[in-house]
Chain A
């Protein structure tokens, strides 16, 4: 047994490297800067929505025509638009429209979707098939097209746009909720609960729901991000809040006309949308990690 090379016998550096690796991985486990920043971004945006006057002294709707299309400066941090309105004020005051829209959209998707999924997952084959085929049809239609059709049925407006976005996400909530319910329902502890005399709804409430909702909540956080994006899209296309409401998507749409001369009008609202969406995604990831 001499074919084991001998020269590498002295390799005292390796344990150190190991040390470093394990200690940094422990650090990473306890401290996630990305996650902290994400919560920070969502917190600030939420504060924009609740107490916008604390962040800016400018009025979001009334502008002074003399100051139109000014580049970012100390007075107007993010510049002004074509009517001389302060862009930062419009973003701050617009947060409430975008956020409440996203909340409504997620709520619609979460409640309706989870309900459908739980019903499908816990009842017999026929109901399951009926519900899930309906969900397949919803999934087959592109989300934006579905939202647009719903808005045309319901009429334009912030709330209607939110509902439209929510309905478009029902299918993914329903599919996930059903899969989780089916998984939990096959587990030994659910059978044991029936075996000890549990009634159907009691078992559903005590065991199936609490154990299947974690993944659904993670999806809700993810959906929050994409709802912001979709509401902005609808606003951009003119299906959401009517002007002069400061809604993020609408801000980008209005700024687009001046993109060659006033880059800040599209860039900054766009950055806010990106930051909020990425933060929601990161938070969703952490929720999912915890449930796994």
Chain B
């Protein structure tokens, strides 16, 4: 941190005693308390911490992109020894994109939806003074090829919505590396992508770095990614540095309890096998049986065209166990889970849940059947009504069935909220006052209040950072043991699946390519696709360190 600058050249980027605060309704809140770190030329430094630790804020302060209510209170940011933290926005404009560039977190809304990819990549050249159109066009195509986009000429003419999330992230990387900057700040560049795409994107950043000697500040909550990709790791908690050093040392010999905690929470393939397998509680009928299930979607704009989301898939889940559906995005796993809970009607095939044929249920029978199976959504920010209080959200399912007296309803909701680990003070608040992890606890409480036998978890922990994710997984495990619940667990993250599931089906383009007990599938994958998924799980170095 306080590296003596006497002999060696100054570090590429040096942050000294940075203090950042935000203006809130209750006055100024400090979120970064005196952080110092250096990045040398060509180095990859990972800034690791849970959400709210200030890691994104640090990345933003470096290039003067703090939100309007944010402010650097003290401290300096130096680029090659020149302080830039007090530069005006106009002066920083010359720096941004050319010397330091940013790869933003969410490829979904970081591109302008009404301009073509080519125009947006070309913009970086125009901003920085390139005038020759033909030259710009040529460089754009070169860049798009460079970041591994197939058919770059077509891509340059396309609009962002025509590209997948991984492709958009490649475009953002193309923009970031266009002018060969000295430093790229990558703010959670892959957390919105599924594992295989994530690995390809991180590989791409690695390659580009090796080629041009660009340094990378990698902001991530995933210690596994940090372990795989970084030379040095800086562990951040509540805006303070807990620990920093060479990735190898920090991961092998963490000195701080918080780092140890992060290490323990990181889902990794190595320590997954500790879960006791659940024996099927009742040896009789399986809780979920899916046979020959096919789901077609009609493609808009094409009268005859249909898209086959699921193609004759079949699996069964024994009561009291966890079955996982894994696959990349677009593999049909969400369609499968929605068909099981009755939100999507099958084109053909049979789905039997708790003894009832789901497709044949109508009206009141369907409503009554819903008590037995509940869905927990991926995004806890969208699945709770913003205008209801936490207590009202959990009470609501009880209103839909045989009347429960108000006092009794309240008691049941509160017992359950306490059971999922929410403090009593939050019960009267709206969801907006809660963190993502707390909201997901509310969603779980709402799903459980009707005492269902089956819970379908659609990427239920994917939006949460590792620490919270570990807590929610532990909670799900306890609840399953207490209540004999059956879980259908949909995820793209194999490390998580290995922690929680007994059996697994691997989906690829609507077909099941492999299924069986988790141990077998993970230790002896039969298909290249499964092997690819397993290899993509970050944290190889973490395993090696153990």
Q: Which of A1, A4, A25, A198 contacts B396 (CB 8 A)?
A: A198
Q: Does B278 contact A (CB under 8 A)?
A: no
**Complex contact B399–A1 (CB within 8 A):** no
Name the interface size band of chain A.
Answer: 20 to 34
Q: How far is the CA of A164 from the CA of B450 in the complex (A)?
A: 51
On chain B, the number of residues with a Cβ less than 8 Å from chain A's Cβ atoms is 43
Q: Which of A9, A188, A195, A202 contacts B374 (CB 8 A)?
A: A195
Q: Given that A14-B86, A206-B396 are contacting pairs, would A211 and B386 also be in contact in the complex, using a CB cutoff of 8 Å?
A: yes
Q: Does B385 contact A (CB under 8 A)?
A: yes
Q: Given that A9-B82, A197-B367 are contacting pairs, would A192 and B383 also be in contact in the complex, using a CB cutoff of 8 Å?
A: yes
B14 to chain A, nearest CB (A): 12
- 19 further contact pairs, Cβ within 8 A, besides A22-B71, A196-B397, A196-B450: A1-B12, A8-B87, A8-B91, A11-B88, A25-B68, A26-B69, A188-B382, A189-B384, A195-B370, A195-B374, A196-B374, A196-B396, A197-B400, A197-B401, A198-B397, A198-B400, A199-B367, A206-B385, A210-B387
**Complex contact B87–A14 (CB within 8 A):** yes
Q: How far is the CA of A211 from the CA of B384 in the complex (A)?
A: 12
**Complex contact B86–A193 (CB within 8 A):** no
**Complex contact B71–A18 (CB within 8 A):** yes
Q: Which of B88, B341, B387, B400 contacts A14 (CB 8 A)?
A: B88
**Complex contact B82–A196 (CB within 8 A):** no
Q: How far is the CA of A251 from the CA of B242 in the complex (A)?
A: 74
**Complex contact B370–A211 (CB within 8 A):** no
Which residues of chain A in 185-237 are interfacial with respect to chain B, using CB atoms and an 8 Å cutoff? 187-189, 191-193, 195-199, 202, 206-207, 210-211
A22 surroundings in chain B (CB, below 8 A): 23, 68-69, 71
B42 to chain A, nearest CB (A): 13
**Complex contact A196–B370 (CB within 8 A):** yes
Name 27 interchain pairs, CB-CB below 8 A, sorted by A: A1-B81, A1-B182, A6-B82, A8-B87, A11-B86, A11-B87, A11-B88, A14-B87, A14-B88, A18-B72, A19-B71, A22-B69, A26-B23, A187-B382, A188-B379, A192-B375, A192-B377, A192-B383, A195-B341, A195-B343, A195-B370, A196-B370, A196-B400, A197-B370, A197-B400, A210-B387, A211-B386
B341 surroundings in chain A (CB, below 8 A): 195
Q: How far is the CA of A16 from the CA of B194 in the complex (A)?
A: 44
**Complex contact A211–B385 (CB within 8 A):** yes
B383 surroundings in chain A (CB, below 8 A): 188-189, 192
**Complex contact A195–B87 (CB within 8 A):** no
A207 surroundings in chain B (CB, below 8 A): 385
Q: Does A124 contact B (CB under 8 A)?
A: no
A1 surroundings in chain B (CB, below 8 A): 12, 79-81, 182
Q: Does A12 contact B (CB under 8 A)?
A: yes
A2 to chain B, nearest CB (A): 8
Q: Does B446 contact A (CB under 8 A)?
A: yes
Look across to chain A and name the residue whose beta carbon is closest to the beta carbon of B24.
A26
A292 to chain B, nearest CB (A): 12
A193 surroundings in chain B (CB, below 8 A): 385, 396
Q: How far is the CA of A11 from the CA of B88 in the complex (A)?
A: 9
Q: Does A33 contact B (CB under 8 A)?
A: no
B81 to chain A, nearest CB (A): 8
Q: Given that A8-B91, A12-B86 are contacting pairs, would A191 and B343 also be in contact in the complex, using a CB cutoff of 8 Å?
A: yes
The list of the 3 closest CB pairs from A to B, nearest first, reads A196-B397, A1-B80, A197-B400
Q: Does B113 contact A (CB under 8 A)?
A: no
A29 to chain B, nearest CB (A): 9
Q: Does A142 contact B (CB under 8 A)?
A: no
Q: How far is the CA of A211 from the CA of B430 in the complex (A)?
A: 13
A18 surroundings in chain B (CB, below 8 A): 71-72
B420 to chain A, nearest CB (A): 16
Q: Given that A11-B86, A14-B88, A196-B396 are contacting pairs, would A4 and B446 also be in contact in the complex, using a CB cutoff of 8 Å?
A: no
Which residues of chain B in 86-109 are interfacial with respect to chain A, using CB atoms and an 8 Å cutoff? 86-88, 91
Q: How far is the CA of A247 from the CA of B341 in the complex (A)?
A: 61
**Complex contact A192–B86 (CB within 8 A):** no
B343 surroundings in chain A (CB, below 8 A): 191, 195
A224 to chain B, nearest CB (A): 24
Q: Does B391 contact A (CB under 8 A)?
A: no
A192 surroundings in chain B (CB, below 8 A): 375, 377, 383, 443, 446
Q: Does B170 contact A (CB under 8 A)?
A: no
B384 to chain A, nearest CB (A): 6
A6 surroundings in chain B (CB, below 8 A): 82
Q: Does B423 contact A (CB under 8 A)?
A: no
Q: How far is the CA of A77 from the CA of B371 in the complex (A)?
A: 72
Look across to chain A and name the residue whose beta carbon is closest to the beta carbon of B91.
A8
Which residues of chain B in 292-307 are interfacial with respect to chain A, using CB atoms and an 8 Å cutoff? none
**Complex contact B397–A197 (CB within 8 A):** yes
Q: Does A289 contact B (CB under 8 A)?
A: no
Of the listed residues B84, B367, B386, B400, the one surrounded by the most CB atoms of chain A closer than 10 A to its CB is B400
Q: How far is the CA of A18 from the CA of B383 in the complex (A)?
A: 38
Look across to chain B and name the residue whose beta carbon is closest to the beta carbon of A196.
B397
Q: Does A57 contact B (CB under 8 A)?
A: no
A202 surroundings in chain B (CB, below 8 A): 399-400
**Complex contact B71–A197 (CB within 8 A):** no
**Complex contact B88–A9 (CB within 8 A):** no
Of the listed residues B84, B374, B385, the one surrounded by the most CB atoms of chain A closer than 10 A to its CB is B385
Of the listed residues A2, A12, A187, A192, the one surrounded by the most CB atoms of chain B closer than 10 A to its CB is A192
**Complex contact B387–A211 (CB within 8 A):** yes
B377 surroundings in chain A (CB, below 8 A): 188, 192
B446 surroundings in chain A (CB, below 8 A): 192, 196
A14 surroundings in chain B (CB, below 8 A): 86-88
Q: Which of B12, B79, B86, B400 contacts A199 (CB 8 A)?
A: B400
Q: How far is the CA of A22 from the CA of B73 in the complex (A)?
A: 12
Q: How far is the CA of A15 from the CA of B368 in the complex (A)?
A: 63
A187 surroundings in chain B (CB, below 8 A): 382
Q: How far is the CA of A157 from the CA of B84 in the complex (A)?
A: 70
B150 to chain A, nearest CB (A): 33
B119 to chain A, nearest CB (A): 29
Q: How far is the CA of A18 from the CA of B447 in the complex (A)?
A: 47
Q: How far is the CA of A12 from the CA of B85 in the complex (A)?
A: 11
Q: How far is the CA of A156 from the CA of B163 in the complex (A)?
A: 59
**Complex contact A197–B450 (CB within 8 A):** yes
A216 to chain B, nearest CB (A): 15
Q: Does B517 contact A (CB under 8 A)?
A: no
**Complex contact A189–B382 (CB within 8 A):** yes
Q: How far is the CA of A193 from the CA of B394 in the complex (A)?
A: 11
B355 surroundings in chain A (CB, below 8 A): none
Q: How far is the CA of A8 from the CA of B396 in the complex (A)?
A: 61
Q: Which of B72, B79, B401 contacts A4 (CB 8 A)?
A: B79
Look across to chain A and name the residue whose beta carbon is closest to the beta carbon of B10.
A1
A211 surroundings in chain B (CB, below 8 A): 385-387
A281 to chain B, nearest CB (A): 25
B367 surroundings in chain A (CB, below 8 A): 197, 199
Q: Which of B80, B84, B368, B385 contacts A189 (CB 8 A)?
A: B385
